[in-house]
Structure 1
Amino acid sequence: MKSWLFSLLIISGLAFSFSSCETDFDTTTEYKDITVVYGILDQKSDTQFIKINKAYLSETDVLTYAANPDSNQYINDLEVKIEEFSDQGNLLDSHILEKTTVTNKEAGQFYYPDQIVYFWKPDSPIDVDYIYLGDNLVDSALIWFDEEHTYKLSITNPASGKVIASETNLVKEFRITYPSVQRTIKFLKNDNSSKTFSWNDADNAGKYEFELRFNFRELLTTGEERSRYIVLSKASVDASNNTSEYEVYYKDLNFYSTCENLIPYDDQAAEDQVSQRFTGLVEVLVRAAEENLSLYMEVNEPSTSIIQEKPQFSNVDNGIGIFSSRYYEKRLIELDDPTKNELINNEDPNYKFVY
């Protein structure tokens, strides 16, 4: 009985996994040279990564093959480039990717800790996205790509002459519309009210992921300071052609129950190392996945059906995998004084907030 085993590495810095394009792949054919590609362009990252692996068909124990780098990686160097085209279809630039080795892959069935990736560092940013707290500038993010351009990936294997190709649009800029310019946010402890968070539609986006975080600092008994955050809420929202703005709701009461459940460490020994905690900013984070990435995520979600066979998706010609893009926006808000006081005056001795 032959078994297919594909290896894809989702690099931690890329992790926003989001499948069908016209590119078909027949898993019943004999193995020759199946190239597996994973690459997500991130407009706010100064380094772009492309992971290129091999898929293989084996008569023997697939786990033995999975643990062998030679079964998953191309031994010879590949020629990898990303070409940049204008909205009129004119070639503007060609970027050659370099090969490097990441050394922090966690232990598992596939080979570790070293894996080969290809990377490209754009020469210079084209814009800056400024992040404000009220009217005060508190952060910024450099923009490295022109959202009007199309990016085409080409991978050539000199040993075989095989060429693998794909292309992607970029998710265009969008904005978090609420909260807008307000400086503080209040969570009412004994109230059933909800907060609304919203953002406008982004061209070329197929899915949005909303995340609400609470940042804080810890002072340890050693005198060291440590930054932490907890996730208050997460939501996945599909893009719609009929929607110009998206909303999610968060109940005020959930803020306090989530803090009580997640801030003190489960390990009492770890909690005993914390002498004080200090409140930080609430972070509203919205990530947008390009349409092909959204489809890829959908097809690769765990099945809830009794039918385990799921359709394959790839937008990679002469290979399988995904080449797409993502974009994110964030907004920072400070807790108001009454909310801070609720945390400071909490009766749980493990809370330890002093500000």
Structure 2
Amino acid sequence: MKNYLSIFFIILFFSCENDIEINDTWKDIPVIYAILNSGTQEDADGYGFEDPNPFTEFDFDGDTDSDLNNLHFVRVQKSFLGEESAYNYMNISDSIYYDNNNLSVWAEVIDPNYLGSVNPAQISLIHVGENELEQLGIDKLDGNFSIDNHYLYRFPNINDINFNNPDPNVTDISDLCQGGDCNHLYKICVLNNLTGDTAYAITNIVQPLEMFKPHAHGPTSILKLGLESTPFQIDIQPSINAKMYSVSLRFNYLEQSRDSYLFDVENGNALPTTGVVAKYVDWTFSEVVITDQNQLNGSGNRIKKSFYGAEFFTYLKSTISEQDASQPEFYRYPINTFYQNFENSQAVAGIYHRCIDLNITAVNTELYTYLNANAPNYGLNQERPEYNNVENGIGHVSSRSVLNMNNLRIDKQASDSLSFGQITKNLNFACFSNLGTGYLDINFGYYCDN
């Protein structure tokens, strides 16, 4: 009897299934990403630059209108599951991209005041293939994932409307706030026509940023960063739905090697011409998180950032290599240098450098939460909380407002502080003087402070 039991257990043991199935049953799960950017109420590239004959035209869009963003994209892909390594699937186009003919993608504009009582307006999104993306300057970077048949969807804008034969299904959504009303919600919907399943996500819209100061033109476009005791102030009007503000300054400059500089001198080139490299330094301020309900509603106190000239120059010193004044390796120049006489008396006539860019981004609560969930974790618990606001799918949909106010000026005092001030004199930046004939005289080192 014991022998029979032993044989029975041996047979039972070796006949057990020992394969482990690690994959669940495949299920279609769409992946949706969209961060809608409303732009800014400022004409951030500026106009009316006071100089009657500028060498460089800074008014890039040729108007004085608000720089609202009119390109809003939605990315739709699909998740994949298989027995092999993920690396074997991600480079196969139809593993990560749907056939566009099998999808319907649209946006619904929801008025929360009439939620449930009025059907929201529906806007069909436009499929944007590789050719149009290339024309828009949007290239998919090479990587592990397939770039074949890459596409996006975008909101229609005024360029899509045929005014001679208007299509009722095409609506201009250049302005996400629809003329200033930022209380509407946007629902991004993706229908799989094969399964009948719809994934969606809802977001509010951050009101386009508006500045109290500085502006892209006029006296407030001048950053007076001499080593005086008065700080430079950045004042932002609160935007509806903006939970967090990120502010940074970019200092743009040109750099030449010693050999290139000496070549220009020997060949009588008055301006840096040979081997010039454009460089920049970004100075990012601490983020401002909004807790005041009035500011979230677009009222209340302005969002403020301020700094002293000494702080600015100290940061440059910490990020740009110092030089031996007797034999410098590099020669440097702030970009976009002009003599401006200000006939309208808005500022003192003199040499100005349009070398500062102000960049501000305001994000809504959904994007703020997403950024926090994906921020580096320096604690003992290394598990990240998952954040997904897409129903019946995965991904993220939110909004922001981005302002890029480029080519702000620093004045003569700031230029002098940069070239021969106590903090940055060893960075070897050029000093400039006006020759009174429309030409600038450029010097370095000893010749600047004498």
- Give the TM-score taking structure 2 as reference length: 0.58
Query: Would the aligned equivalents of 1:178 and 1:198 in 2 still touch at CA under 8 Å?
Result: yes
Indicate which of 80, 104, 127 corresponds to 1:98. 127
Structure 2 stretches lacking a partner, 5+ long: 1-19, 39-67, 161-173, 256-270, 324-328, 338-352, 433-439, 441-450
- Cα distance, 1:61 vs structure 2: 1.6
Q: How many Å separate the matches in 1 of 2:289 and 2:33?
A: 22
Query: Would the aligned equivalents of 2:107 and 2:186 in 1 still touch at CA under 8 Å?
Result: yes
Local SS of the residue matching 1:39: strand
Indicate which of 145, 149, 153 corresponds to 2:188. 153
Rate the CA distance shift 1:192–1:34 in 2: closer, same or farther, 3 A. farther
**Is the counterpart of residue 55 in structure 1 residue 129 in structure 2?**
no
Q: How many residues align?
A: 309
Residues 181-220 of structure 1: pairs in structure 2 closer than 5 A: 182-189=220-227, 194-216=231-253
Q: How many Å separate the matches in 2 of 1:353 and 1:328?
A: 34
Q: How many Å separate the matches in 2 of 1:301 and 1:45?
A: 27
Q: How many Å separate the matches in 1 of 2:427 and 2:88?
A: 51
Output the amino acid matched with 1:294.
Y
Q: How many Å separate the matches in 1 of 2:303 and 2:146?
A: 41
- Cα distance, 1:300 vs structure 2: 1.5
**Is the counterpart of residue 351 in structure 1 residue 408 in structure 2?**
no
Query: Would the aligned equivalents of 2:238 and 2:303 in 1 still touch at CA under 8 Å?
Result: yes
Deviates more, 1:29-38 or 1:227-236: 227-236
Indicate which of 109, 115, 121 corresponds to 1:84. 109
Which residue does 2:70 correspond to in 1?
46
Query: Would the aligned equivalents of 2:176 and 2:205 in 1 still touch at CA under 8 Å?
Result: no
Output the amino acid matched with 1:351.
F
Output the amino acid matched with 1:36.
V
Query: Would the aligned equivalents of 2:125 and 2:153 in 1 still touch at CA under 8 Å?
Result: no
Which residue does 1:306 correspond to in 2?
380
Output the amino acid matched with 2:128.
K
- Cα distance, 1:298 vs structure 2: 1.2
**Is the counterpart of residue 246 in structure 1 residue 303 in structure 2?**
yes
Rate the CA distance shift 1:106–1:94 in 2: closer, same or farther, 3 A. closer
Which residue does 1:232 correspond to in 2?
283
Query: Would the aligned equivalents of 1:221 and 1:275 in 2 still touch at CA under 8 Å?
Result: no
Query: Would the aligned equivalents of 1:85 and 1:93 in 2 still touch at CA under 8 Å?
Result: no
Which residue does 1:138 correspond to in 2?
none
Q: How many Å separate the matches in 2 of 1:276 and 1:210?
A: 21
Q: How many Å separate the matches in 2 of 1:265 and 1:116?
A: 46
- Structure with the larger strand share: 1
Query: Would the aligned equivalents of 2:252 and 2:279 in 1 still touch at CA under 8 Å?
Result: yes
Indicate which of 292, 316, 323 corresponds to 2:390. 316
Q: How many Å separate the matches in 1 of 2:127 and 2:322?
A: 42
**Is the counterpart of residue 36 in structure 1 residue 31 in structure 2?**
yes
- Structure with the larger helix share: 2
Rate the CA distance shift 1:305–1:41 in 2: closer, same or farther, 3 A. same
Residues 213-292 of structure 1: pairs in structure 2 closer than 5 A: 213-216=250-253, 221=273, 229-241=280-292, 244=300, 245-260=302-317, 277=335, 278=337, 279-292=353-366
Structure 1 stretches lacking a partner, 5+ long: 4-27, 126-141
CA deviation digits over 1:294-319, x for unaligned, max 9? 11111122222222222211221111
Q: How many Å separate the matches in 2 of 1:29 and 1:338?
A: 68
Local SS of the residue matching 2:287: strand
Local SS of the residue matching 2:367: helix
Query: Would the aligned equivalents of 2:107 and 2:124 in 1 still touch at CA under 8 Å?
Result: yes
Deviates more, 1:280-289 or 1:90-99: 90-99
- Cα distance, 1:80 vs structure 2: 0.9
Q: How many Å separate the matches in 1 of 2:330 and 2:362?
A: 39
Query: Would the aligned equivalents of 1:107 and 1:113 in 2 still touch at CA under 8 Å?
Result: no
Which residue does 1:336 correspond to in 2?
411
Deviates more, 1:176-185 or 1:277-286: 176-185
Identity over aligned pairs, percent: 23
- Cα distance, 1:280 vs structure 2: 1.1
- Give the TM-score taking structure 1 as reference length: 0.72
Q: How many Å separate the matches in 2 of 1:220 and 1:99?
A: 43
- Cα distance, 1:114 vs structure 2: 6.2
